[in-house]
Amino acid sequence: MALRGHGLIDGRGQAWWDLPCKPHKARYGRIVREPCDSTVAIRFFMSNNIRVEGIRLKNSPQFHFRFDGCQNVHIQSIYITAPPLSPNTDGIHIENTINVEIYNSVVSNSDDCVSIGSGCYDVDIRNMTCGPSHGISIGSLGKHNSRACASNITVCDSVIKNSDNWVRIKTWQGGSGAVSGVIFRKIHMENVRNPIIIDQFYCLTKNCSNGTSAPPVRLKCSDAVPCTNITIGDVELLPSRGALVLDPFCWNAYGEMHALTIPPVACLLQGFPRSVLESDVGIC
41 and 162 inside one domain: yes
Give the C-alpha separation, 239 to 220, whole Å. Answer: 21
Q: What is the mean pLDDT of residues 110-117?
A: 96
In a domain, 219, yes or no: no
| pTM given for the model | 0.90
204 and 151 inside one domain: yes
Pick from 162, 179, 211: which residue ends a domain? Answer: 211
* pLDDT above 70 as % of the chain: 87
pLDDT band at 273 (very low <50, low <70, confident <90, very high): confident
Specify whether the CB–CB gap between 95 and 120 falls below 8 A: yes
Reported as a single tens digit per residue, the pLDDT across 220-241 is: 999 988 999 999 999 999 887 7
**Residue 182 belongs to a domain with what CATH number?**
2.160.20.10
Q: What domain range is 262 assigned to?
A: 224-284
Reported as a single tens digit per residue, the pLDDT across 61-94 is: 999 999 999 999 999 999 999 999 898 899 999 9
β strands within 24-96, DSSP E = 24-25, 31-32, 42-45, 48-53, 56-58, 65-68, 71-76, 79-81, 92-95
246 and 205 inside one domain: no
In a domain, 218, yes or no: no
Catalytic site positions: 134
In a domain, 217, yes or no: no
Q: Which is more confidently placed, 182 or 34?
A: 182
124 and 204 inside one domain: yes
